[in-house]
């Protein structure tokens, strides 16, 4: 087990496990954490998992771990790793089963005090319009042909189907459509699972949340994003549902033999991988793009339903009930990007597992309005706590492969949370704080209790101190819909 | 083989779910793993018996760990797609890492938790004094 004494301090909030720590490491591990958070991260196996990830062939820079890190399987959650494209490997376990799990933020011109009398109604209607919960699919079942179209086109499909605007697409990471997505690399089981789940939230830590923009820290950036103190905003957190889970499961299985074929030694089979210039790696990259596009489309359809819910409750009661997309970011994904590593521009596959892309100003993939300020970085907190909107920095491009934290990060196991926290009590506590909850299951609610997570403010403070993001606004939850 | 001589217990994991499973032989280990997974899915109560639907499945893999994952994923797929819960009443595991199972299924109305996947994380079926044991991490 990695202990604090194994870490070398390289900057105020940055620590390194040197490549000499274990003989099979190819690169170092660098983690972003305050001294306080460091105590928490050494309690579970996340650092050992980061050391394991540092053994992957083709790594071009240190494996990074964000301050919201916690133990996962294979890679730690909060891990970022860049492998050389195309000779390096891609690892499905370094991306996760919920491919392109991500979050989007929508801004509004709805004043909190105007909406306050309708918030209960709004929560109920959102819950009705946006299907959620264990085993609950979307409002519509799509044919296999249609799912294949979703795989290929992502949010572009959603636009053609009437679920998205041009601005929605512009303000989604990579336009909501990753190229190279070929559904022939996706199993019939995945397509079948995907057919009934477009536009559904799922369960677990996924949510839809109505927030109040409580405090703005960078008024120029906030203005560009359409965020203003006192107004409502909406967050949607979910991914590629059973479709993505099936794609990942299929490839974790099929790549087991590829590892032997290419003579790759791994400390954990959950890290199974294949070179991206070999048929197995190419196939996964393409299937992953399908699942990522599916997830973009999923969040887009949910946004459409949320807009309908807002219209149904607020039309005639407030002046402007529209929701305008601020940004949509993936936090479980592998992206082919060009980064300047050791003075050279190199094409790499950046695995982000529980980490958000956080490009600085000037990045080409950003829409023109964000190219000036840097990419919006969305860091949802746990259920009762604040969420943060940040923007990426040039420093992030230099130090964190244009990546940042993705949330608060768990500290307590689900079973422990259920033992110590009673769902009904939690709901009452949150109600007292003015937070309305619509939850499919009280046990599920208890598992997601704020006490099971790190303090999101401390996590955000760390990335800000490290210089990889700048705070724009803090959001306070008003109503949470959970499956 | 005797599928009733195994057991499982939940192990604390920060974000996902982990169970420790044991069995007198591989068949009972696999059956106990399936029981543990269904337990995690939150389907302990079901009204009807397991007589209505009988199915046979055969699977093969490169090793026992791979076979265990295939087996659990098969059951998981049927649970989430078809709402079918299976009791394993005959299970044969061969040295060439293949498996034949006779299952009795029942239709369920709901389950409490979505399991995204059965992971390979530190998956290692090992021999113990009393038979076999394995820890399995489920992504949820």
User: What is the tens place of the pLDDT at every residue in B61-100?
Assistant: 999 999 999 999 999 999 999 999 998 989 999 999 999 9
pLDDT tens-digit profile of B3-20? Answer: 568 999 999 888 889 999
Peptide bond preceding B77 in cis form (omega within 30 of 0):
no
Instruction: State the residue range of the domain holding B80.
Output: 6-139
Residues in chain A with CB shorter than 8 Å from the CB of B13 are 71, 413-414
Residue A475 in tokens: 């959001």
Asked if B113 lies within 8 A of A134 by C-beta distance, the reply is yes
What is the predicted pLDDT for the residue at B48?
62
Taking a C-beta distance cutoff of 8 angstroms, is the pair B121, B115 a contact?
Answer: no
pLDDT tens-digit profile of A361-387? Answer: 999 999 999 999 999 999 999 888 999
pLDDT tens-digit profile of B30-42? Answer: 999 999 999 999 8
pLDDT tens-digit profile of A90-123? Answer: 999 999 999 999 999 999 999 999 999 999 999 9
Q: Among B101, B22, B138, which Cα is nearest to A249's?
A: B138
Q: A156 pLDDT exceeds 90?
A: yes
Q: Locate tokens 């890290």: which residue?
A: A271
pTM for the model stands at: 0.96
What is the predicted pLDDT for the residue at A388?
98
Q: B49 pLDDT exceeds 80?
A: no
Asked if A135 lies within 8 A of B111 by C-beta distance, the reply is yes
Asked if B77 lies within 8 A of A441 by C-beta distance, the reply is no
Q: How many CB pairs under 8 A join A and B?
A: 102
B121 inside domain:
yes
Q: How confident is the model at residue A152 (pLDDT cuts 50, 70, 90)?
A: very high
Based on the structure, what is the number of domains in chain B?
A: 1
Of the ranges A82-86, A448-452, B13-17, the best mean pLDDT one = A82-86
- Which residues does A contribute to its contact with B (CB < 8 Å)? 44, 46, 70-74, 77, 93, 96-98, 134-135, 189, 192-193, 202-204, 242, 245-246, 248-249, 252-253, 256-257, 268-270, 272, 410-416, 441, 443-444
Please give the Cα distance from A271 to A72 (Å, whole number): 11
More confident residue, A249 or A44: A249
Residues in chain A with CB shorter than 8 Å from the CB of B114 are 134-135, 202-204
Q: What is the mean pLDDT of residues A170-199?
A: 97
Q: A414 pLDDT exceeds 90?
A: no
Please give the Cα distance from A56 to A82 (Å, whole number): 10
Half-sphere exposure of B17 (CA within 13 A, CB side): 28
Residue A120, number of CB atoms within 10 A of its CB:
13
Q: What single DSSP character describes residue A375? A: -
What is the predicted pLDDT for the residue at A350?
98
CB neighbour list of residue A105: distance below 8 Å, 6 or more residues apart: A233, A234, A235, A325, A326, A327, A376, A378, A389
pLDDT tens-digit profile of A336-352? Answer: 999 999 999 999 999 99
More confident residue, A440 or A469: A469
Q: B2 pLDDT exceeds 60?
A: no
Q: Among A416, A95, A38, which Cα is nearest to B12's?
A: A416
Q: Locate tokens 């492998």: which residue?
A: A83
Per DSSP bridges, beta strands B126-128 and B131-139 are antiparallel
Q: What single DSSP character describes residue A401? A: T
Rounded to the nearest 5°, which phi and psi values hold at A346? -130, 140
What is the predicted pLDDT for the residue at A483?
84
More confident residue, A414 or A56: A56
From A454, which residue of chain B is nearest by alpha-carbon distance? B14
Q: Out of A17-31, A55-69, A450-464, B1-15, which region has the weakest mean confidence (pLDDT)? A: B1-15
Q: Best interface-test mutation with A: which of B114, B115, B123, B135 has the largest number of A CBs within 10 A?
A: B114
Q: What is the mean pLDDT of residues A63-68?
A: 97
B16 inside domain:
yes
Asked if A443 lies within 8 A of B140 by C-beta distance, the reply is no
Q: What is the mean pLDDT of residues B131-136?
A: 97
Distance from CA of B138 to the nearest CA of A (A): 9
Question: What mean pLDDT, rounded, does chain A reach?
Answer: 96
CATH number (domain holding residue B86): 3.55.10.10
Q: Best interface-test mutation with A: which of B65, B119, B123 has the largest number of A CBs within 10 A?
A: B119
Taking a C-beta distance cutoff of 8 angstroms, is the pair A307, A278 a contact?
Answer: no
Q: How confident is the model at residue B1 (pLDDT cuts 50, 70, 90)?
A: very low
> Considering CB atoms only, which of B77, B112, B139 is closest to A134?
B112
Whether residue B13 lies within 8 A of chain A, CB to CB, comes out as yes
Q: A265 pLDDT exceeds 70?
A: yes
User: Superfamily assignment of A4-411+453-482 in CATH?
Assistant: tRNA-splicing ligase RtcB (3.90.1860.10)
Q: Best interface-test mutation with A: which of B121, B125, B134, B137 has the largest number of A CBs within 10 A?
A: B121
Residue A396 in tokens: 């992030």
Specify whether A112 is catalytic. Answer: no
Q: B51 pLDDT exceeds 90?
A: no
């Amino acid at each position: 087990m990695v202990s604090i004494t194994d870490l070398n301090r390289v900057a105020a909030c940055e620590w390194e496990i040197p490549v000499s720590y274990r003989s099979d490491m190819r690169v170092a591990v660098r983690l972003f954490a305050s001294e306080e958070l460091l105590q928490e991260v050494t309690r579970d196996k996340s650092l050992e998992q980061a050391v394991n990830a540092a053994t992957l062939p083709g790594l071009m820079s240190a494996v990074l771990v964000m301050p919201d890190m916690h133990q996962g399987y294979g890679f730690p959650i909060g891990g970022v790793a860049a492998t050389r494209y195309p000779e390096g490997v891609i690892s499905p376990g370094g991306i996760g089963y919920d491919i392109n799990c991500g979050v989007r933020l929508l801004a509004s011109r709805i004043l909190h005090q105007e909406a306050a009398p309708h918030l209960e109604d709004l929560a109920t209607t959102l819950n009705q319009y946006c299907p959620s919960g264990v085993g609950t699919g979307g409002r519509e079942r799509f044919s296999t042909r249609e799912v294949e179209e979703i795989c290929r086109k992502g949010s572009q499909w959603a636009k053609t189907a009437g679920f998205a605007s041009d601005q929605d697409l512009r303000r989604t990471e990579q336009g909501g459509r990753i190229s190279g997505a070929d559904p022939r690399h996706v199993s019939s089981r995945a397509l079948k699972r995907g057919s009934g789940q477009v536009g559904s939230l799922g369960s677990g830590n996924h949510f839809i949340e109505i927030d109040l923009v409580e405090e703005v820290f960078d008024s120029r950036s906030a203005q560009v994003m359409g965020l203003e103190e006192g107004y409502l905003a909406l967050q949607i957190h979910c991914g590629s549902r059973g479709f993505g889970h099936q794609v990942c499961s299929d490839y974790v299985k099929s790549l087991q033999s590829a590892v032997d074929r290419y003579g790759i030694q791994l400390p954990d089979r959950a890290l199974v991988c294949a070179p991206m210039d070999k048929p197995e790696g190419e196939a996964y990259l393409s299937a992953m793009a399908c699942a990522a596009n599916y997830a973009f489309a999923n969040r887009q359809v949910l946004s459409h339903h949320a807009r309908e819910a807002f219209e149904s409750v607020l039309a005639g009661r407030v002046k402007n009930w529209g929701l305008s997309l601020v940004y949509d970011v993936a936090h479980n994904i592998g992206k082919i990007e060009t980064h300047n590593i050791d003075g050279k521009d190199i094409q790499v596959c950046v695995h982000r597992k529980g980490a958000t892309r956080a490009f600085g100003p000037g990045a080409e993939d950003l829409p023109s309005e964000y190219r000036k300020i840097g990419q919006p970085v969305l860091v949802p907190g746990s259920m009762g706590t604040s969420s943060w909107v940040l923007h990426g920095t040039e420093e992030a491009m230099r130090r964190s492969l244009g990546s940042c934290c993705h949330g608060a990060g768990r500290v307590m196991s689900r079973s422990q949370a259920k033992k110590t926290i009673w769902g009904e009590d939690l709901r009452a506590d949150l109600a007292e704080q003015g937070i309305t909850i619509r939850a499919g299951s009280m046990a599920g609610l208890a598992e997601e209790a704020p006490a099971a997570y790190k303090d999101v403010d401390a996590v955000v403070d760390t990335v800000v101190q490290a210089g990889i993001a700048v705070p724009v606004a803090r959001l306070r939850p008003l109503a949470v819909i959970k499956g | 083989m005797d599928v009733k001589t195994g057991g499982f217990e939940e192990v604390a994991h920060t974000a996902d779910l982990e169970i420790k499973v044991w069995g007198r032989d591989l068949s009972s280990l696999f059956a106990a793993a399936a029981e543990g997974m269904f337990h995690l899915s939150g389907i302990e109560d079901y009204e009807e018996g397991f007589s209505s639907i009988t199915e046979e499945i055969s699977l093969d893999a490169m090793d026992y760990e791979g076979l265990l994952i295939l087996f659990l994923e098969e059951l998981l797929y049927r649970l989430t797609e078809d709402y079918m819960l299976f009791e394993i009443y005959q299970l044969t595991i061969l040295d060439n890492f293949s498996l034949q199972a006779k299952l009795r299924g029942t239709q369920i109305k709901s389950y409490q938790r979505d399991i995204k996947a059965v992971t390979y994380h530190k998956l290692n079926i090992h021999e113990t004094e009393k038979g076999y044991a394995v820890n399995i991490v489920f992504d949820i």
